[in-house]
Every structure is written in C-alpha cells, then in structure tokens.
Chain A
Amino acid sequence: MLSPYDRLAIPLTATPAEVKAAYHAKLREFPAHLHPEEFKEVRAAYETIRKGGASADDFFFLVRPLDAKLDPSAVEALRQRAIAQLQVSWEEMIRETF
C-alpha cells in the first residue's frame, strides 16, 4: 500500500496548500463514480495528512478497547434498561448482543 504522501504524489515537505492542490488533482483523476477504490484511497490519504497523525493503517488493526470512555448519563440509561429487562436472563442478553 502506498503511503499517504505517495498516494497524493507529493513530498513530505508539502505545504497545506500543496496538499490540497494535489488532492484536488487526484479527485479529477479518480472521480468517485468511476474509480471508487482509488477515490477512497486518495481521500484516506488526504485525511491522514491533514490530521497530521498516524497513517490510516494503524487504525485498521487497533483492537477496539473494551473500556471506552463513557458518558455517565448513557450508562445510567443503559442500567435502567438492563433493570427493566431483568426477565431476560443475562446469559441471553450476552448471546443476543455482541
């Protein structure tokens, strides 16, 4: 797989304006309705560079952390729902969901 910079055919030193210009040039080359796969790669490359963060590949193989940050009110709502559903056994819920 090409690196984001290679995908947009720009040097690592490209300025934001150059990144955008290269991105637009690639959009012209790979319209979404004709080249969806290339379009997606171009888009992913552009997003990665713009965020200045890790490459998209790194995200792909992250195992989803089980203790995600939670909004306490949502947890509370869920707890209420769980209580309301006590007749459904815990076992069943586990199997039903994922």
Chain B
Amino acid sequence: MGRTVGIDLGTTNSEVAIVENGQARVLPGEEGDLILPSCVGFSDTGKLLVGRDALRQYAAAPDRTVRSIKRWMGTDHKTTLRIDSASDETREYLPHEISAMILRALKQRAETALGEEVTQAVITVPAYFTDAQRQATKTAGEIAGLEVLQIINEPTAAALTYDLRSDETEQVLVYDLGGGTFDVSVVEITGEVTEVLASHGNNQLGGDDFDRRLQLHLAERFRQAHGIDVPEDAVTQARLLRAAEQVKITLSTHGFAPVREAFLGSKGNTALHLEAEISRSDFEELLRPLLEETLEAIDRALADAELDPEDLDRIILVGGSTRIPLVQQMVEEHLDQAPVDGVQPDLCVALGAALQAGVLAGEEVESILVDVIPHSLGISAAVSTPMGIMPGFFSVIIPRNSVVPVSRSEIYSTMSDRQTAVEIEIFQGENEIAEENVPLGSYKVEGLPPGAAGSIQIEVHFDFDINGILTVTTTEKGKGQQGTLVVNHGGIERLSSHELKQARADLDALFQDGLFQPDETLLSSAASDVEDDSIDVETSETIPIAPELVALLTRARQALDTLEGEQVEELQDLLDDIAEAIADSETELIANLQEELADFLYYATTQDS
C-alpha cells in the first residue's frame, strides 16, 4: 500500500507534506521549492503546465492559464483554456477537474521525493467551505488518483502544528487569511487534544480581492496620467493584476512601492506606460473595509464559543495575507492582544494535514482532533405565528459549530387535516427563511395515514459523518421507517465509478504526454529554431532556455520584419540585451527580459488592430 500525505490545496499556493517518525515535513519539488503555485495552463506548444511554469506565463497568456480555481469549487463554472498558441482549439474544464491537475502534480511531487507510491491523502479546505465545495474537493482528489481519507479545516490543521507552552488548557484564536478565503476559528488545546469551539469566515475573501482592488486603483492612476482607460483585453488586465500583486507584497515591508509597466496602452503612435508610486496608506485605505468584515467574524466566532477576547491565551496568524501590517494591527487593536506569528504561516496548514494523515494511517502521532460543522443544517418547516401558520421557515436540526460526527433528531407534525405526504427539503445556512439558505436536496414522504392536523408525528433524523456526508432519515412515529436520503452536496453530482475512471484516464493522458515537466531545451538545440544574427548563440551552449523563450524569439524575429521605425530599434535593443544575458548566464535577468519581450510583442502586435 502506498503512503498517506497531507495536502493544503490553496487558492494561490498548494503544498504536500508527510509525517515520518512523528515529525511532519513539507515535501519539496525537484528544485527544492516547497510551494506549488495553484496555477494550471497549457504552454505555447500545448504542454500541460502546473505550478510555477504556469504562473510565469499567466500575464502573457491568460487565455491558456488559470489561477485561483478554488474560488469556483462546488460550482459548475467552466474554464475555457486554449490548448496551444497556434490553433484556436480550446478545452473546457470544471473547477474540480483543474484542482485534480494540481493535486495530481502534488502527488507526483510527493512520489518523486519519497521514491514511493502515494495513494491516500487528507486534504484541507477553508473551515467555512460549504458541503458542495467540500465534495468537489474530494472528487478532485479521487480524479487525481488519491483516496481522500478526510477533508479537514485549514485553521484546525494549522492549530494542530502549534506547540503548547504547558499542560494547561489554552484557548487559541486562529486567524487565517489566505489568497481566496478567510477563516477564524476558536480552538481549545489541551495536551494532544485540539478541540474547535467555533469557526466562522468568508469563503470569498482573501489576498485576491486586495489584488483586484489595487488593480482598479492602478487603472485609475493610468487614466489620470494619460486621460484614457487601460485597454480591456485579457493580457493587459492580467499584467495589471500581476503588477498589483507585486505592489501589495512590496508594501508589506516598505512604505512605498514603485510601479512601472511599459507598453500598457497607446495613444496614436505613442506607447503609454504606467509609472506610479503607491504608498502603504493608499493601499490600506482600499483594504480597510474588507478587513473590518473579518473583525466582525472574529466577534461572532468568539460569541459562538462563549468566550471574551480576554479569555484568549494566544492569537495565531495563518495565511500569506496576514503578512500585511494592517492585518496584524487591526487584529491586535480589536482583541487588545498582539498576535504571535505562526512558525511557518504558509506551511503549517499542510503540516497539520500531514499530522492528521498520520493519525488516520495509524502512525504514532499523538494528536486528537475534535472539529465542528461551520454551517447549520435543517429543513423547511411551518410555524404558527400571530398571522396564522407560516410555512418556509428554516428549522435547524444540527446547529452550526456542533462537533462532528453528530446525529440529531427533531419531531414534526402534519399541518393540515388528512395530510398524507410531506416534502422534506434540506438546507444549509443561517437564515431564518429556509429558501435563503443553500439547498442540499429534498424528498417526499408519502402514504401517511390520514388524520387530523398535528396528529401524525414524523421524526427527522440527521446524521452528519466525519467526511461531511449527511444522511437524512424520516420515521413516522408508530409506523416505522419511511425513507432515507443520503445528501452529498448541492452542486455537482458525485461521479459514478465509470465517470471517475474516465476522468482519471483523461488526466493520466494529459500528464503522460510529457505534458507536465516542461522539458527545457538547451540553447544549442534551440539555435536551429532561432537562427537570428541578433542572438549570439555560440558562447552559451550550456544555458537551458525555456521553450517559451524560444517561441518568443521566433515571434520576435518575425516581428522585426513587419514592424517599423522606433519599434524595430526598441525590439532590436531588447534582443541584444537578451543575447547578452544568455551569454552571461544571468537567469534572473533572462526571465525579466523574457517578460518584457512578451509584453512588447503583445503591445506591438495588437496596437493597430
């Protein structure tokens, strides 16, 4: 049997970790990198790229690249990807299919690092994920060829990795702000027992939103400077987004961040650049309203846990976005206590997942996890009100923050005379009006004996297991069992075993065609493709250059023939610089120049059309 790993499948970044001899560690990729960007794409030549290589091409080829797919999990949103740059052929993918590619890459990474097969995994999700989102995550794991032993909550996983100061019980607040989601969990830790008291959050709030606000801000700066709007096309917008993220990260450690994006637009024959300086306070102004919301979530989680801020022994920050000084400052002011920095805010979720994987795989891991369900579960029912009987109320059977697994029952009675059927409609959420919540499924109980209103009683039993599967059973009192419904999720259907096999085979094929690892071509062999005297190839046989760059250089050579005037000069200069950088083996410079070349070519070849 293969090994069992823990996986943090993040909006922006993913990691895979394992427990060995009671110790958890993150498994590195071949270049020693611990983090795999959650980005998927097809290269120029139609190869599947997962991780850094996909992220690298994102700004130049947004039509062939997808990031932040986690935001769509549990929906049937289709992502259309062009499969290479030559043809217009596209393929459509569902969110869990893209996630499966990321998981498959992580599985491969773990297998290479361990030299063994990996067959099982614990995967983390935001605590505030709904049923549908959890189910989609599980399906993605299965498509990737992993048996998903358990889906656990990210802040809980993070809490598992924290060393205790003493044997005393500690009440800890975990504030997790990542790329796409925000969670807050109040956790009680006693020795090896980690018990979640309450979780709250927003599964659509994270660093991505900060980037997007900054992107709009940068577009506004551009407009102010040049009097025209930034072009709407995908490539330009992707470049702006990338610039925004860089600004954001710079502002975590600096008071000001410069922005320089060349060739962002044009006016007549003049190229327009974005040149600006963003101050930290500009950024904080954009950010503050979003962060206020996280403070409200803290209050609600504390209230659900029946704790006051002063009861907290520690505040732990998790997730890349907690590196933003304003986040730390606002949390500290709100709770009147300085948060401690996580040992490894990016990695602790994966490490915690690995610990739980160890527990489930029967390793010697001293850890007991007691987690809760983040959303209430119940059915639509009628209540009598001063205005008569009102149907459509949400009657909660399992309240939010109940410990899982959990079983609860409620008894309902018929509301009209001779009523012989009832519809059991199941919802998840917190709204008092049933329909305002997320529907999970419904079924009809028929054949009730005719009786007076209220005389027939039906027990509705909810059983919510550790894997998040809800089973609903209704029993008519006195007559025995009437029906059972296993509710999986609201969104996508569970795959049949046949569909799963097919999906796995498709994914295998995608990975097998050598699509995964970008085969880096040596310059000497690339030279035959790019026979251009502007590039001095002799001095640099040993530097591998990426196929993407080769393709760009080919396009650049063609462009030299079609461009005119100043642009030819600009391009020639750029090519000279690249040749020099290659000769000097300056890999970082090459990467920067490659990006610049991509931007230039995009600008130069689209501006007149």
Contact = CB atoms under 8 A, between A and B. Distances in A.
Interface of A: 20, 24, 27-28, 31-33, 36, 39-40, 43, 60-64, 66-68, 70-71, 74-75, 77-79, 81-82, 93-98
A27 B193 contact: yes
A18 B406 CA distance: 24
Nearest to B191: A24
B512 interface: no
A31 B411 contact: no
B395 A81 contact: no
B416 interface: yes
A28 B466 contact: no
Interface string B419-454: 101111100000011000000000000000000001
Given A97-B391, A98-B379, A77 B466 contact: no
B407 A95 contact: no
Contacts of B405: 32, 36, 39-40
Nearest to B384: A66
A40 B423 contact: no
A80 B61 CA distance: 50
B368 A81 contact: no
A2 to B, nearest CB: 16
A40 B150 CA distance: 18
Nearest to A47: B403
A38 to B, nearest CB: 11
Contacts of A98: 379-382, 391, 412, 415, 422-425
Interface string B178-215: 00000000000011010000000000000000000000
A94 B191 contact: no
B387 interface: yes
A43 B466 CA distance: 14
A43 B390 contact: no
Interface string B158-177: 00000000000100000000
30 contacts: A20-B190, A24-B190, A24-B191, A31-B359, A32-B370, A33-B360, A36-B465, A40-B406, A67-B385, A74-B433, A75-B385, A75-B387, A78-B433, A79-B390, A82-B390, A93-B391, A94-B389, A94-B391, A94-B416, A96-B391, A97-B380, A97-B381, A97-B391, A97-B392, A97-B423, A98-B379, A98-B381, A98-B422, A98-B423, A98-B424
Contacts of B391: 93-94, 96-98
A70 B457 CA distance: 23
A64 B411 contact: yes
Given A20-B169, A24-B190, A95-B419, 16 more contacts: A27-B370, A31-B368, A32-B405, A43-B406, A63-B457, A64-B381, A64-B411, A66-B384, A70-B383, A71-B432, A75-B386, A78-B392, A93-B392, A94-B419, A95-B421, A95-B423
Contact of B466 (A32, A61, A81, A93): A32
Interface of B: 150, 169, 190-191, 193, 359-360, 368-370, 379-387, 389-393, 395, 403-407, 409-413, 415-416, 419, 421-425, 432-433, 454, 457, 465-466
A33 to B, nearest CB: 6
A23 to B, nearest CB: 9
Nearest to B386: A75
A26 B369 CA distance: 13
B412 to A, nearest CB: 6
Nearest to B366: A28
A8 B198 CA distance: 23
Contacts of B406: 40, 43
Given A66-B384, A97-B381, A98-B382, A75 B390 contact: yes
A78 B393 CA distance: 8
Contacts of B457: 63
Contacts of A62: 411
A19 B425 CA distance: 38
A35 to B, nearest CB: 10
Contacts of B466: 32-33, 36
A28 B369 CA distance: 10
A77 B559 CA distance: 64
A66 B360 CA distance: 44
Contacts of A74: 393, 432-433
Contacts of A60: 409
Nearest to A31: B368
A32 B385 contact: no
B433 A66 contact: no
Contacts of B370: 27, 32, 43
A71 to B, nearest CB: 6
B411 A43 contact: no
Nearest to A75: B385
B409 to A, nearest CB: 6
A64 B385 contact: no
B411 A67 contact: no
A78 B191 CA distance: 48
Contacts of B169: 20
Given A20-B190, A39-B405, A75-B385, A64 B392 contact: no
Contacts of A28: 368
B433 A40 contact: no
Nearest to A79: B387
Contacts of B359: 31, 33
A64 B412 contact: yes
A26 B395 CA distance: 32
A81 B392 contact: yes
Contacts of A77: 433
Interface centre among A31, A67, A95 (most CB of B within 10 A): A95
Contacts of A96: 391, 423
A33 B150 contact: yes
A79 B383 CA distance: 13
B412 A67 contact: no
Contacts of B190: 20, 24
B77 to A, nearest CB: 29
Contacts of B403: 43
A93 to B, nearest CB: 6
A97 B385 contact: no
Nearest to B149: A33
A61 B411 CA distance: 7
B383 A68 contact: yes
Q: From A28, A61, A98, name the one whose CB has the most chain B CB atoms within 10 angstroms.
A: A98
A27 B385 contact: no
Contacts of B407: 40
